[in-house]
Structure 1
């Protein structure tokens, strides 16, 4: 079950992480999603948890974080003093986060923001078909191939014939249903439109055989009869949308289509029934009024064709989500008491042992407990080369096993898996709005009234100054102006590109949190990057431990015991080294982690320190020049060195190496080639930082950086007008990631770093930043192409329809040609956006 509540006191990403961590400790809570902008928290739970229990988990009634029942109320705009080190940016305006639940319907142009509907229909603002949010977790059902009426939620045997049940084929998506309905109406419309068009155009054929069958007046009545099914059945929805748009004063494309074709249809009926009421200017040489039944049905049918093609294209824009959903297998093999049992993935629990056979997809996230494997992770990381896995290595859902079999323990299931998180992030980001969309919205707001005004002016000018028959020319050109204008091409230009671009990024292992990140990533001037885990492999190893006083193995046991309390990669390296040397780890008291400096604690009644020179200075330790010379020598070789101090006396040091990623140099050079400064900010010492910076050829570097130093450095660059991206993977990077214009987290890093970032690189490789930069550039270029096409189309098309070329070249644009152009304008925008699926990044 899922509940939404109001949460107060959450002011930054650090607060989000704190609330998430505290509530996740409750055994009933399976997932926590905090939206600090809307002061909303969404909790998924196995059983109901009372508000009092939730508040107690947050620290009780005296806690800064207060949770209450969700209700509509005015948000208190008073500033809440933050308890965290993340400083919000000045003049920051929060963008709405569209959170459409699965199975709900929304407008693809986001006319009403995050407003959603329970049933399919039309957007009341723009009139477009509402789109269904895909089901992000698909429940597989099983049926018997011999008895399709047998349906089960779990695999097994048919109760009637005993055959194995097989997974049911997925039902048609909402886009498919919409397409089928439109296709049916298109066939009806075409069936009646083609005869009307032939009858109308037959007047141009010499010795027309139709003249022998019926006279002109009878042919006009036949056109009316054939037009009725097109107007009142196949295309009646256009008039309904037009009427709603006028009543609600949400003028849109269907307003123009409804007015234009409606006027032509009613004029034709009046001309057919009451010909004597019209002046001679409206009549042909035979005395009948010029009728526009063919213009009405052809225009409506062409608009319907445009809607049909648009529905087909819409299904492709969300194809990335559908393809990601297909990666998850429907079944898995669970090992119970040594016996293999086939179950639905929805029945897998944490701690279950699974057997993954050759060629199978990994069902959930977990760790290999027995065997080896070659895993194809290309669908998650975008890298085509399979990865070797052994015992204790992590595997992710959706990845494909090679030719061996292995056992794994399930650690993350359901919505917690990496694949589920990727699907959710892609879904959320594809519905977000880019800042450039705000300009489009302002223009679209005035577009339809301006077009109607131009149409009226066109009618007046042709009526007053046009050639005979003046009123006929005035009516035809005014209708053409209404029909050729297409505000939907403007409205679709941005969201279609964003949706396809985000999906493309997911395939490349680049997860984009929202559309704003795409736009800003294209503009970055500076990339700030951490060293450990970002530029380096993030798998440090102890090269040696030098102890000048005392027993080396005993000292190693003390510092390893101290580091057991820390999650830092360097700490893990020390513990691993001590275990390999069979050192004895003792109990630790008064442990303390000093961010950016090291660790401290009491081991065997002795105060033990392990850290950098800044830690020693903080503790008032001096006179370690002899050891310092050896340390500096190591540091100049690009190694990280930590001092060992016992009872305020330096007795040795630990040398740790962390190999630079092979791709880091190539990625940095490519970014510099694109005009991006690459600056390394690291908590490591000056000598080590200088060595690494020289090898990587970064633009600049700064050593001995604490989290606050990184934060202040980014602020200074932003004051200078720079657009700054920050790449990091640790908790100490979270403040800088939040402050930067674009935070880029390594997917191999900590959850808080990922939470603070706008872009996450699944593989945790700097090459991913190059991909993100190239992708953002391609998406923004695609958006600009769409906007240019939409603007230039309307800028040229409307004057042409108004007849500006007639005085010079005698050229007029008929309403039918205008309808054809209008219909394909929206389709062209979507087709251009779909090109992003095939670009090479």
Structure 2
């Protein structure tokens, strides 16, 4: 934390303002002082001083991100910090200083009925003082809020959200949201019981069953009807009213706005009838509207919860795992987000591994289904990679962390899925624009129909019922949720199957492809190169390997890693490298000792003006004809030797090519390897189209050329040398863990690297597009027919509300059907069962 801050006074002079050494707030006269490690520290209040002392005694020093510690959060939320009487600097205040930190908060928000709700919540939250950023996802019902704890607390944010008609709970308590949701079963039951009483009395009055009592005596029954209706409208329907009013205030009318207008109009009209002594009461209409809305929302939320199957919530919860860390011989629990690289953590039976790392001690059997979608035990022993999210089925072990949870494979998966849920597709944008005008149009249409009947001489009662029916029957929710619910179902299904959808736009394209480009190394091959031969006619082979490995140690390429590993296995010591440069897909160069060394392909040698002797070139051709990948090693202007490495095809590579061809796609193999080696692999796969010696820019150019011909193109690769091609293709598919970096521009990520899931991804896109179209057709057809019937006087408000929610439930049920669709039926095309690649080995690759 900054202890001092430069502040410009009103006279324009700069002076240094003392700040609290814990929270960073300005110091008041009632400051607290303490001597910490021989250095004087000042605090704005006793609470900050106490928290500072506790953190230093616990960790030995103040954590870098003190605001992320649980102790700081707890004390801040309890109001124990910053209570010196001095106020936090506000934006635009005289101090002109904002707090130098912000916290991230995740909420599980229930009660959202359509995408307009998430849009409304984002706008309202962004207006709260202290909220820097707010993101609300309708599909996942999760909210991420970046806020300044100096201005607002999580409790205050929860109260704000509650005041707008929604329920917010921290992610860890998300299951309780269903119980305490605004449309809870308690409100539904109370509304239903009271509405039954209102309907029973009203029925007796309307049908003349009490005529013998006289009109004056019967008119007294309007009082109990009014008394029974009031709690239904204003208590049971409070979430509906509050949400509808909040939407109107934000100029974002929604279905709750329509229901609120209809039920309040019926209630107020009936109140006026009581004072006029009339028996034409419509309390029953208002009560039925509210009760039907509550029941419909309750059923809809339950169905949406089943649709999601808590998958998104469980993913977010994994970010709150804690790690058992050993410090100075003592066991401590720290959040997985605060685990540092190089720390050793312990995991025991039944626990979830919180971060990625390498097993240093112990043995265990784990379940990696949260990563790969395949529930099968995987053995871990010393040296095995341990992945965050894996559940320890048996045994225990110690893991050397490779970083915090956010840097883990699962952390990147969660981040990708959450990001995909936030990305609006072109259909989303079109639907949102249409919805806003649709609701306003329905309001105007209801008023116009009522006014037209009044002007035409119709009874005021009939005019009111016509307007109420038009407002009640219109269902913008069905149109609003048609796309997001289907998108959520598709993304959730993909995650369960080990397929991460990064760009939801591809769901609209439906997997319609003409040509698919397959990268060779690390995609159709395992990428596990083995050093087969070292050819160096004029140099010492061990020295040649030492020089090449020293240079390649700075590269992340698969071949580079294999060269380095081969040198280390032989006990060769690596040298320091200077002026390192890597040309993606071609080779590397740098200073090893006093030599300017070049390692890479034949093209790289010629481009670097390194002479290749005819004998070495002939030997390279011999290796390439065997399918080996050849790395040339050169210095002093000529190639000194060759490194020949072999790689094996994946078991499912040929099967994948056949399946794609059967689907009518043209398949082409592209590689940065030599043309001879690429042709050998293409021949094994049964392909005639291939391109060798292709640089990353060449791969991107091929994609652009095919797109220019009007073809729908997909590119599949490991994301290392083919990142630009993956980003430019209509559908980029990255396979394997390496896709976390340069392959981030891909539309789909298959972390496990299983090739058969490429076909599953195509199936997923096709089914998602079909579901979206079905949803839009169903909701559009409903609104067209329902509005026409309402305007023609063929519906009552009660029937209209029931039909409205039936349409919403139909859309949700159709999307739920998508989540139950099996993927992998494509295996039947070849008359074989789907191949299941060993998940652990695939992830290691």
CA distance in 2, matches of 1:415, 1:221: 62
Q: Secondary structure at the match of 1:412?
A: coil
CA distance in 1, matches of 2:144, 2:243: 25
Q: How far 1:458 moved relative to its partner?
A: 4.4
Cα distance change on mapping 1:463 and 1:627 into 2, 3 Å: same
CA distance in 1, matches of 2:802, 2:463: 21
Q: How far 1:818 moved relative to its partner?
A: 1.0
Question: Please, which of 339, 345, 354 is the counterpart of residue 363 of structure 1?
Answer: 354
Residue 229 of structure 1 pairs with residue 220 of structure 2 = no
Identify the residue that residue 102 of structure 1 maps to in structure 2.
Answer: 106
Cα distance change on mapping 1:328 and 1:465 into 2, 3 Å: closer
1:385-413 per-residue CA deviation (whole Å, 9 max, x = no partner) reads 33344433321111023434332212212
Q: Secondary structure at the match of 1:102?
A: strand
Question: Please, which of 633, 640, 648 is the counterpart of residue 659 of structure 1?
Answer: 648
Residue 823 of structure 1 pairs with residue 802 of structure 2 = no
CA distance in 2, matches of 1:71, 1:506: 42
Cα distance change on mapping 1:205 and 1:730 into 2, 3 Å: closer
Identify the residue that residue 451 of structure 1 maps to in structure 2.
Answer: 442
Question: Please, which of 187, 190, 194 is the counterpart of residue 188 of structure 1?
Answer: 190
Cα distance change on mapping 1:335 and 1:248 into 2, 3 Å: closer
Write out aligned runs for 1:318-717 (5 A). Answer: 319-325=310-316, 327=318, 330-335=321-326, 341=331, 343-346=333-336, 348-456=339-447, 458-459=449-450, 472-520=461-509, 522-583=511-572, 585=574, 588=577, 591-601=580-590, 608-622=597-611, 624-698=613-687, 700-717=689-706
CA distance in 2, matches of 1:543, 1:218: 100
Residue 266 of structure 1 pairs with residue 268 of structure 2 = yes
Asked whether the equivalents of residues 610 and 637 of structure 2 are also in contact (C-alpha less than 8 Å), the reply is: yes
CA distance in 2, matches of 1:256, 1:113: 19
Identify the residue that residue 294 of structure 1 maps to in structure 2.
Answer: 284
Asked whether the equivalents of residues 120 and 247 of structure 2 are also in contact (C-alpha less than 8 Å), the reply is: no
Asked whether the equivalents of residues 435 and 516 of structure 1 are also in contact (C-alpha less than 8 Å), the reply is: yes
Q: How far 1:734 moved relative to its partner?
A: 2.6
Identify the residue that residue 142 of structure 1 maps to in structure 2.
Answer: none
CA distance in 1, matches of 2:577, 2:242: 75
1:762-798 per-residue CA deviation (whole Å, 9 max, x = no partner) reads 1133333323222222222222222222111111111
Q: Secondary structure at the match of 1:795?
A: helix
Asked whether the equivalents of residues 524 and 725 of structure 1 are also in contact (C-alpha less than 8 Å), the reply is: yes
Q: Secondary structure at the match of 1:732?
A: coil
CA distance in 2, matches of 1:222, 1:113: 38
Q: How far 1:520 moved relative to its partner?
A: 4.4
1:681-710 per-residue CA deviation (whole Å, 9 max, x = no partner) reads 211111111121222245732111112111
Q: How far 1:820 moved relative to its partner?
A: 1.4
Asked whether the equivalents of residues 631 and 642 of structure 2 are also in contact (C-alpha less than 8 Å), the reply is: yes
Cα distance change on mapping 1:348 and 1:763 into 2, 3 Å: same
Q: How far 1:554 moved relative to its partner?
A: 3.4
CA distance in 1, matches of 2:786, 2:303: 24
Q: Secondary structure at the match of 2:721?
A: helix
Bigger Cα displacement from structure 2, 107-116 vs 551-560? 107-116
Write out aligned runs for 1:4-23 (5 A). Answer: none
CA distance in 1, matches of 2:483, 2:305: 17
Identify the residue that residue 724 of structure 1 maps to in structure 2.
Answer: 713
1:293-329 per-residue CA deviation (whole Å, 9 max, x = no partner) reads 2222112211122233344445554821222245578
Residue 835 of structure 1 pairs with residue 824 of structure 2 = no
Cα distance change on mapping 1:398 and 1:555 into 2, 3 Å: same
CA distance in 1, matches of 2:577, 2:262: 83
Identify the residue that residue 293 of structure 2 maps to in structure 1.
Answer: 303
Question: Please, which of 105, 114, 125 is the counterpart of residue 117 of structure 1?
Answer: 125
1:173-205 per-residue CA deviation (whole Å, 9 max, x = no partner) reads 573365266433323322321011122334698
CA distance in 2, matches of 1:729, 1:116: 42
Residue 778 of structure 1 pairs with residue 775 of structure 2 = no
Bigger Cα displacement from structure 2, 703-712 vs 582-591? 582-591
Q: How far 1:134 moved relative to its partner?
A: 6.7
Cα distance change on mapping 1:216 and 1:721 into 2, 3 Å: farther
CA distance in 1, matches of 2:261, 2:66: 55
RMSD of Structure 2 on Structure 1 (CA):
4.0
Residue 737 of structure 1 pairs with residue 726 of structure 2 = yes
Asked whether the equivalents of residues 351 and 391 of structure 2 are also in contact (C-alpha less than 8 Å), the reply is: yes
Cα distance change on mapping 1:375 and 1:228 into 2, 3 Å: closer
Cα distance change on mapping 1:687 and 1:459 into 2, 3 Å: same
CA distance in 1, matches of 2:139, 2:769: 26
Q: Secondary structure at the match of 2:358?
A: strand
Bigger Cα displacement from structure 2, 732-741 vs 200-209? 200-209
Cα distance change on mapping 1:340 and 1:101 into 2, 3 Å: closer
Q: How far 1:211 moved relative to its partner?
A: 6.6
1:50-71 per-residue CA deviation (whole Å, 9 max, x = no partner) reads xxxxxxxxxxxxxxxxxxxx99
Bigger Cα displacement from structure 2, 483-492 vs 300-309? 300-309
1:401-457 per-residue CA deviation (whole Å, 9 max, x = no partner) reads 343433221221243333333333322322321211122123223213433444356
CA distance in 2, matches of 1:258, 1:694: 69
CA distance in 1, matches of 2:484, 2:424: 7
Q: How far 1:617 moved relative to its partner?
A: 1.8
Asked whether the equivalents of residues 219 and 279 of structure 2 are also in contact (C-alpha less than 8 Å), the reply is: no
Asked whether the equivalents of residues 100 and 116 of structure 1 are also in contact (C-alpha less than 8 Å), the reply is: no
Which ranges of structure 2 fall in alignment gaps of 5 or more residues?
Answer: 3-62, 68-89, 93-102, 129-135, 147-169, 824-845
1:116-146 per-residue CA deviation (whole Å, 9 max, x = no partner) reads 52899xxxxx9x999652799xxxxxxxxxx
CA distance in 2, matches of 1:104, 1:356: 28
Aligned length: 694
TM-score after normalising by structure 2: 0.73
Bigger Cα displacement from structure 2, 395-404 vs 733-742? 733-742
Bigger Cα displacement from structure 2, 630-639 vs 327-336? 327-336
CA distance in 1, matches of 2:345, 2:140: 41
Identify the residue that residue 16 of structure 2 maps to in structure 1.
Answer: none
Q: Secondary structure at the match of 2:360?
A: strand
Cα distance change on mapping 1:584 and 1:273 into 2, 3 Å: closer
